[in-house]
Amino acid sequence: MNTTGNILELSLKAIPEQVVAMDHEFFPHPWSAQQWKDLNPEQHCLFASVLENTTIGFSLFSIVPGDDVAHLYKILLNPLYRRSGISHQFWSEIVLLLKSKGIHRVYLEVESGNAAAIGFYKKEGFKLLRTNPGYYSNGEDALIMESML
């Protein structure tokens, strides 16, 4: 397990219940238990933001071995800690860990109505690449965004 400040890289062999529970409670499109189980240590990495021994957020990426691009699947902060600057600190630490893995570009999809996430991504330097109309099951468009690290 790697640590940098209050960020931890979690083992995918034993994903903490707290992470899955936060996904179910707070993520716009939570995953099934099977989706979490299907994560592969060769292709995915999971970071946790930890404050006083409590996991207050997590972020999940897909990374193709040998490639310098990561796909951000999920980033989530417990609502109690939003709008506090912690998400910026978490992202800055994630960027350092991704760079140490040779990643220089991150892309993601975000629901067009998710103003908090879009604001966060823009603040962290993500640019809009394109829109995928009706991408989500609720009919919402997806914004495809990317950032060079």
- Name the residues that contact ligand COA, by CB under 6 A: 26-28, 75-77, 82-83, 87-88, 110, 114-117, 119-120, 123
The nearer residue to ligand COA, 102 or 138, going by C-beta atoms, is 138
The nearer residue to ligand COA, 75 or 103, going by C-beta atoms, is 75
Closest separation in Å from C-beta 91 to ligand COA: 8
Q: In what order do the strands lie in the sheet with 142-148?
A: 3-4, 7-10, 44-51, 54-63, 69-77, 105-111, 142-148, 127-132
Crossing angle of helices 86-100 and 115-123, in 10° steps, is 60
The nearer residue to ligand COA, 42 or 118, going by C-beta atoms, is 118
Residue 117: name the closest of 142, 92, 96 by CA: 142
Other CB atoms within a 10 A radius of the CB of residue 134 amount to: 10
- Give 121's contacts (C-beta < 8 A, 6+ positions apart): 108, 110, 145, 147
Closest separation in Å from C-beta 41 to ligand COA: 23
Closest separation in Å from C-beta 118 to ligand COA: 7
Residue nearest to ligand COA (CB): 119
The nearer residue to ligand COA, 41 or 79, going by C-beta atoms, is 79
Closest separation in Å from C-beta 124 to ligand COA: 8
Tell me the one-letter amino acid at 72. L
